[in-house]
Structure formats: structure tokens, C-alpha cells
Amino acid sequence: MVSKSKRTHSLDLFVNVLNKNVIGYFNMVRLVSQSMLSNAKLMSEERGVIINTSRFSVIDIPVINSISAVNGSGAQVAYSTAMAAIAGMTLPLARGLGRYGIRCVGVEPGLFEIPLIQAYEDTVNILSKLTPFPQRLGKPEEYAQLIEVNPSHRMKCSKLSKTL
């Protein structure tokens, strides 16, 4: 909340992150679910699936903090809050939309090999050693497989999580 230089978190940054990640996401779900209501029901009585993706874990490792230094340390407060809000939407959305044949599934991925982090080879090595089995970061195709398979399992309740 307060940086090393004793400056407080920027309210504008906090509001901006929440607007993009929470309000924007809610608006998308609102519009998509309205569109799904007009879908013909499948044999399974289903009209569609909404997949919420959030990173609910808070990581407090100095080497990771250095990656987010571009946004300042306060950015993690806003981002973590936004991800918690998205995770918190999943169950109420599932209950509210389920009666219309629209499912809502939540996915909370851990750390994955993405271009932003690949530029920091030392960081990737440290994080890999801190990660439970397998001791490596997730691969984008593993996440894609989960997203691809999840909608086909109507009763599946899964979580992809490799938190530290």
C-alpha cells in the first residue's frame, strides 16, 4: 500500500485496474449472457458456458515484485483485488444463470510461461524451484487444454492452480 519511498498507492491506478478488470469483465459477462439466452437449448438443456479466469493467489516474492516494478508495488493491491472480485462472481453467476441453462466455471491458474516473464530467465528458474510438482511453470497449451475440455464436462468442478 505504501512504496519504499513512502508514497501511498495511487487511487487513480486502483480505480483504473478495477474498471478494466472487474467492471469491463462484468459488462462482457452481462452482454454475453444476454446473447446466450437466445441460443437454442442443446440436448443437455444447456445454452452456453462462461469461463471466469482469475489469479486469486497473492505472490510476495521480491523477484516477482521486480517484474511488476513498471506499475509500482501498489499495482499488486489493485490487481489482487480485481482477481478476487472475478473469482467471487463465479458462484453467484453460476446460480443466477444456471436456471437458464448457462453454466459458469471458474479457473484460477498459477504461474505460466508467458512472454512477460520469459524475459527474466533467473526469475523463471527461481519460480520453477518454488513450484510444487512438476517443478516448472505451466505451459500455455496446458491452460488451453483445460479451457477446451472444461465446457464438455457439465458436472465437472475443476481448478488449475499451481500457487506458491
Residues annotated as catalytic (active site), given as ranges: 79
Nearest to 146 by CA among 101, 108, 91: 108
Q: 36 Cβ partners below 8 Å, 6+ apart? A: 47, 48, 50, 97, 100, 102
d(CA 51, CA 64): 27
Nearest to 123 by CA among 132, 114, 58, 71: 114
Question: Is the CB of residue 113 less than 8 Å from the CB of residue 138?
Answer: yes
The residue type at 50? I
